[in-house]
Structure 1
Amino acid sequence: MISQWFTIVSTIIAPVFVLVIIGVILQRKFHLDMYTLSKMNLYLLVPALIFTKLYETAISLHEFFTIAGLTLLSLAILYLVARVITTVFRFSKSMRIAFSNSVIFYNSGNYGVPVNDLVFRSDPYAMSIQVIVLLIQNIVTFSYGIFSLQSSDKSFWQALLSYAKLPVLYAMLAAIALNVTKIDLPLALYTPATYISDAVIAIALITLGCQVAELKLKRNLGKVYGSLSLRLLLGPAIAAGLIYLFQLEGITAQAFFISAAMPTSVNSAIIAQEYNNEPEFSAQTVLASTMLSSVTVSLVIFLSTILY
């Protein structure tokens, strides 16, 4: 058991954090342009990954909607638990929003995709599960996440229009359409898409390192500890319950279980900063959860090999 744990840490978790540390070093030495890195991830790398993995996989529409539905259900449960806690302890309105966002928004892209790739050795089916979770996370982040923090001059339809401009949605729809209709994409288009997709792992983790390098951990961490407990412990526990309830098995169960263990998304800190809603608390949860996830994610991976 100890040897299996060591194998997980050394072959899956360690490579992830090596690239994150490289990102931290590069950012502190060269002060890379985070705007450019974020745009490249959001508008090029992630859409290419979503397109190629959904195009290659044999996942059915039933499985697609099952994973999407379970992801939304798990987020809803986490949100309700967070709201109960923030109400009982009488958090301020701004802290209620920040606390809830730190729990329901997790790093399914920069962190989750590389972990999935390493755990399942680039299995397209397993990656498609992670991609669906990533897609739902993006939708929730750029819909509810923005709506909960937006200033008074922003309307629902303006926020919805902003999301409609992102290429991830169209990459998903195009890939599903080509997959379902069995249409072969010309190599002149498919080959560059795979090249871009292959670059996601390294650049995403280095970008995460650059983002972490700009965060600062401060004192008064009581609320941070509460957020970490819900995100890193309750998150995968809820996923395990849903897996049992809906009788998921094999790689589907493993990939969904592991995806729920990811640390708080950097996007939660970014939008908190953008709308000046408890930015220090949000930054602390991102940094602390990313650091502690080296232990909790390795534990969840280990449990997935036993349970499923």
Structure 2
Amino acid sequence: MILEILLDVVLPIFVLIGLGALMQRAFRLDLYTLAKINFYYVTPAAVFLSLYHSDMSPELLGNVTLFYVLYILLLYCVSMLVSRKLNMSPGMRAAFTNSLILDNSGNYGLPINNLVFKGDPLATSLQALIMSFQSLVTFTYGVMSVQRAKSGANLKASLIGFLKMPVPYALVLGIAFHWLDIPLPEFIGKPLGYIADSMVGIALLTLGAQIVKYPLQLDRIEVYFSVFLRLLIGPIIGFMLVLLLGLKGIPAQALLIASSMPVGVNTAILAEEYNNEPEFAAQTVLLSTILNVITITIIISLAKYVG
């Protein structure tokens, strides 16, 4: 079972990440443009269609929302406890917390979900919802935490940054079109389908190009704490919440896998943008993504027994 998952799900993901890394080495790809293609072109189409075709009930939507809120709060508490025990500076504490609560649910999580559940609309819509919640946390708490550590928080700027992203609107429209049973014209549905079909290849190429710019260094103890908590404690918290909320079947499996993602690239982007522990953030992204080959394989193999 584990070997099958490794060969059929995990290794294809890392082959595509590796190709992205090779292309970045060979051609110095424009990462800014790649990020814009993902955020404003591919991901909104995938999110809209997954929710439009899903059969997520209002009750399930509420449970997923509650799961995510509790998941982030518990990770935040763990982060505060560990960072205080290690006597981290305010800037380091902000970077450390971001490395735990900002995971790679988008350009890594969506492809993983797509391969594990073979494009099942319900599973995809669950991951899309988690990704949208991640965007909200990234552009509110994530931004404000590093701003506060450097020069004071700015809630208005953070909210404006979040509202400029199309993914939340795609999510709301997808849910609205689905619940109101609004037919999607073919001249709109087909182009959206073509765009969404490119998601896996483009998202993972982008991820490979992003992480290759950071050289691997193994001399910071905080990096190991972050990666351990992100890859091991995160899934444990996810598993406990699935049991607590009584989730079953695909929702339980999808949320457990979603709680097992590596540190998000946005962690490094925010750290670099505000010059707040950029080296630490880059190392957590790179190391957690590499080690996730092992942890995500195990979690996927165990997920079938959940619920």
CA contact (8 A) 2:129 2:171 kept: no
Q: Aligned partners of 2:102, 2:176: CA distance in 1, in Å?
A: 28
Moved more, 223-232 or 64-73: 64-73
Amino acid of the structure 2 residue aligned with 1:98: A
Aligned residue in 1 for 2:99? 102
Aligned pair 1:90/2:87, yes or no? yes
Q: Could you say if the C-alpha distance between residues 153 and 259 of structure 1 is closer, same or farther in structure 2, counting changes exceeding 3 Å?
A: closer
Q: Aligned partners of 1:5, 1:168: CA distance in 2, in Å?
A: 33
Q: Deviations over 1:192-223 (max 9, x none)?
A: 11111111110000000000111111232311
Q: Aligned partners of 2:158, 2:14: CA distance in 1, in Å?
A: 34
Equivalent of 1:56 in 15, 39, 53: 53
Q: Aligned partners of 1:49, 1:152: CA distance in 2, in Å?
A: 37
Identity %: 42
Q: Aligned partners of 1:138, 1:63: CA distance in 2, in Å?
A: 20
Q: Deviations over 1:224-272 (max 9, x none)?
A: 1100111000001001001111110011100000010010000100010
Aligned pair 1:13/2:7, yes or no? no
Give the C-alpha shift of residue 147 in structure 1.
1.0
Alignment of 1:117-266 (within 5 A): 117-150=114-147, 152=151, 155-266=154-265
Aligned residue in 2 for 1:30? 27
Across the two proteins, how many residue pairs are aligned to each other?
A: 305
CA contact (8 A) 2:271 2:278 kept: yes
Moved more, 254-263 or 215-224: 215-224
User: Partner of 1:306: helix, strand, or coil?
Assistant: coil
Q: Aligned partners of 1:297, 1:42: CA distance in 2, in Å?
A: 24
Moved more, 192-201 or 57-66: 57-66
Q: TM-score, normalised by structure 2?
A: 0.97
Q: Aligned partners of 2:91, 2:152: CA distance in 1, in Å?
A: 18
Aligned pair 1:43/2:40, yes or no? yes
Aligned pair 1:295/2:294, yes or no? yes
Q: Aligned partners of 1:59, 1:287: CA distance in 2, in Å?
A: 34
Q: Aligned partners of 1:67, 1:248: CA distance in 2, in Å?
A: 9
Give the C-alpha shift of residue 15 in structure 1.
0.3
Aligned residue in 2 for 1:112? 109
Amino acid of the structure 1 residue aligned with 2:139: F
Give the C-alpha shift of residue 161 in structure 1.
1.5
Gaps of 5+ in 1: none
Give the C-alpha shift of residue 153 in structure 1.
7.5
User: Partner of 1:115: helix, strand, or coil?
Assistant: helix
| Moved segments of 4+, more than 4 Å | none
Give the C-alpha shift of residue 152 in structure 1.
3.7
Give the C-alpha shift of residue 110 in structure 1.
1.0
Give the C-alpha shift of residue 170 in structure 1.
1.1
